[in-house]
């Protein structure tokens, strides 16, 4: 590994909501971490072709209701 980017939990939840709202994808938190890093630091990745693994749906119905709901 050359580098590690830390993202906060709220950034991961934001990425999960983006995936659900715009792509219809239900990703588990670890599966949305790559997108969270891209959203957190867009200038760092500008002009590059980027790929990230988005995986999982390992959420309970209660977690889906809580985590994918838009914050008030």
Q: pLDDT digit of tens for each residue in the chain (72 aa)?
A: 888 999 999 999 999 999 999 999 999 999 999 999 999 999 999 999 999 999 987 888 898 888 888 887
> Contacts from 15-21 at CB under 8 Å and sequence distance 24+?
15/39, 16/67, 16/68, 17/67, 17/68, 17/70, 19/54, 20/68
pLDDT confidence of residue 7: 97
CB 31 within 8 A of CB 53: yes
pTM: 0.87
pLDDT confidence of residue 61: 86
pLDDT confidence of residue 43: 97
């Amino acid at each position: 590994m050359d580098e590690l980017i830390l993202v906060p939990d709220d950034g991961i939840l934001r990425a999960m909501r983006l995936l659900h709202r715009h792509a219809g994808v239900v990703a588990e938190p670890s599966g949305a971490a790559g997108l969270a890093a891209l959203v957190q630091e867009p200038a760092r990745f500008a002009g590059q072709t980027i790929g990230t693994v988005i995986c999982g749906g390992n959420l309970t119905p209660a977690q889906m209701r809580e985590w994918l709901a838009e914050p008030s």
